[in-house]
Amino acid sequence: MMLESIQQSLQKSKLVKFLLFVIIIFFIFAGYFTSTLFGGNPDQIAEVEGSAITNSQVQQRMDNLRAQMGERFDQQYATEASKELLRAQILEQLINEQVLQSNIKKAGLTASDEQIKEWTRNYEAFQINGEYDAATAKLLLSQNGWSEQRFKAFAADQIIRQQLTDGVTSSGFSLDKEVEALYRLQEQTRDVRVLRVPKAKFAEAAEISEEAINDYYQQNQAEFEQAEKVNLSFVRLSVAELTEANEATITEQQVTDYYEQNKSNYQTTPEIQVAHILIDNSVDNAQDKANELFEQIQAGADFAELAKKESSDTFSGENGGVLDWVDAVAASDAEDGTGWAPEFEAAALALQNIGDVSDVVETDFGFHIIKLVEKRAGETSPLADVSEAIKTTLAQQAAESTFYEKQTQLNETLFEFGDDINAFAKQVGLAVQETGLFDEANPVSIATNSVVMEQAFSSAVLNSTEVSDMIDLGGNDIVYLTKKDYQAAKVKELAEVRESIVAKLREEKAVADTKAFADKVLAAIEAEEDTEALLTDKELAWVENSALKSRDSAMDFDLISAVFQQTAPQTEEAVRTTEALFNGDYAVIELKGVSYPDATAIDDATKQQLKQRLNYANSQSDLNNLLQDFRAQSDIEK
């Protein structure tokens, strides 16, 4: 019983380990970067301590998993039922993450600035060849739309989580008897003979009668139901399509004229790059500290070295205080400006010469000293570089004019020609298109648009021969449609599904015949009858091993797995059984005995390794229990 208990515990610990991995690692690489908290969001599907969990977050996790797994995703989650189960699992992961986060806040756990800085420097994504690289860090934060403060909050959260995890897992321990029992379980050998009965041996011989085919068809009509289908005729008017058609008509002279008249649109904005030293408001006597640094710079101190040592902006500080390039224009109603705080922006733009340093500048963030690093003058893009973009612009302008003109004509002629879609389209020179037959589960053509799909199977379309009112697809894209053909829901004819029925019945019969043969062999050996003729007829043979281990390569993995699922013989009588294998084959197993090693002979290295495994399994169990306690104390609504 002890061996079985430990085995079950280890199996559970693998699950716990997996769940914990998902909770922490998935939080870092998926949820934290993509989730957003919503209030009163109709997309909300759960709430933890007032924080919403949305359908969009679940879908984002599924999309991330699909991207990671590639083709294996559709293989593993081939059915809607399996996808729904995955969605439910992801929802539980998101709930667990939020439960951890809210309870960590309640506990008041914090991370120091030094811990955050060290964690940031060791963050693998910010490293090049194992070394922290400030430019890489800034680039990644910019690409993800993250500020430095947001990343610091993220880093603090991860440090606190790790502290919590370490605090629980460090308490895991195991007894010597548990270690010895695990050793005996792991190193046991089994005296066994196994017969694989392949399903393939019976597949070709599985004859299916016409009566069986017809019976299956009659008894499973729901399986062969075909949903209603519709074929839509439609007229579409789209700025995108008109633009594409217009591009071929735009002349070089038109492009040149537009370029000359709008040359300012193709001039790049002047840019500047500055470095700064920030002493934030959390520093004691921050202004005095900034003034002291300014005096050192005036006396010839190296600006970059001071930024590395003293700046509260640790990201830019690692790079000598240098910030990203920005447009050298002040914020206004017409311009976004540099994106900096107004006081910082004004001081930076006032610097004229490379190397100039500002006085101490106060903003809401603290006190800054700013140095002009480099400047770039604005440049005009040559016509050759922008001619294609201009051609598209001109084509789009013409398309928009045509679109509104034709839209007005269509709406005006709909009443007169609404009973004939071909005559309706002819009024404005548009073509009538068709979707072809489709059902609600498999939309095609314009029916892939959800707005069209809502109309396609509505009574207004199915029960009418009139052209529909204008349907707005968004983005200057409209459509008018009518039903051309319709097929009501029906049960497919037997001839259409006969092949699939035969394949299914053959599969079922092959599996049943395989099991029957395996049972026949089992009955024979239990009756101590000779099975040689029986096996020879099917070209089968026993595989025997008197000292089989669970990690042995001398036998197929699925057979070994089946062997080690069997309970050890309690007497000298062998344990005999049949087991279904995952691929439809069957195994006949005769387990003659189980031998356990002498646990006192275990070497120190192996003992330590097993002890670590057990410690980890026990600590993971404790961590899972803690999570369940947190859940019980949290306000969770689904």
pLDDT tens by residue, 53-107: 998 899 989 888 888 888 888 878 877 778 889 999 999 989 988 888 888 777 7
Q: What is the DSSP letter of 597?
A: -
Range 386-408 average pLDDT: 94
So what's the architecture of 2-175+618-637 in CATH? Answer: Orthogonal Bundle (1.10)
Model confidence at 294, in pLDDT bands (50, 70, 90)? very high
Does residue 2 have a pLDDT over 50? Answer: no
Let me know: does 345 contact 357? Beta carbons within 8 Å. no
Domain boundaries, the chain: 2-175+618-637, 189-222+496-595, 229-241+388-488, 268-376
Taking residues 433-456, report their average pLDDT. Answer: 92
Q: Tell me, what DSSP letter sits at residue 26?
A: I
User: For position 27, what pLDDT does the model report?
Assistant: 39
Measured in degrees and rounded to the nearest 5, phi and psi for residue 208 equal -115, 125
Quick one: pLDDT at residue 6? 33
pTM: 0.47
Quick one: CA torsion of 129, 135, 140, 145, rounded to 10 degrees? 170
Q: Where are the beta strands (DSSP E) in 124-282?
A: 127-128, 131-132, 189-197, 225-226, 229-238, 271-280
List % helix, strand, coil for the chain (3-state, nearest 5).
Answer: 55, 15, 30
Please give the CATH topology (third level) of the domain spanning 268-376.
Chitinase A; domain 3 (3.10.50)
Per-position DSSP letters for 137-176, written without gaps between them: HHHHHHHTT--HHHHHHHHHHHHHHHHHHHHHHTT----H
Cβ proximity of 510 and 208 under 8 Å: no
Residue in 164, 97, 162, 155 with CA at minimum distance from that of residue 126: 155
319-377 residue pLDDT tens: 899 998 888 989 887 677 888 999 999 999 999 999 999 999 999 999 999 999 999 88
The pLDDT assigned to 171 comes to 63
pLDDT of residue 3: 34
Helices 604-633, 148-169: axis angle to 10 degrees equals 120
286: pLDDT strictly greater than 90: yes
Amino acid at 401: S
- Residue 523 vs residues 414, 477, 510, 567: alpha-carbon distances, Å: 80, 72, 20, 19
pLDDT at 127 (0 to 100)? 86
Most confidently modeled of 23-27, 115-119, 154-158, 497-501? 497-501
Q: Which residue has the higher pLDDT, 373 or 205?
A: 373
Distance in angstroms (rounded) separating the CA atoms of residues 178 and 78: 41
Give me the helices (H) in 318-458, please.
Answer: 342-350, 383-417, 421-426, 450-456
CA 192 to CA 494: how far, in whole Å? 49
In this prediction, residue 170 has a pLDDT band, given cuts at 50, 70 and 90, of low
Tokens of 204: 């070709």
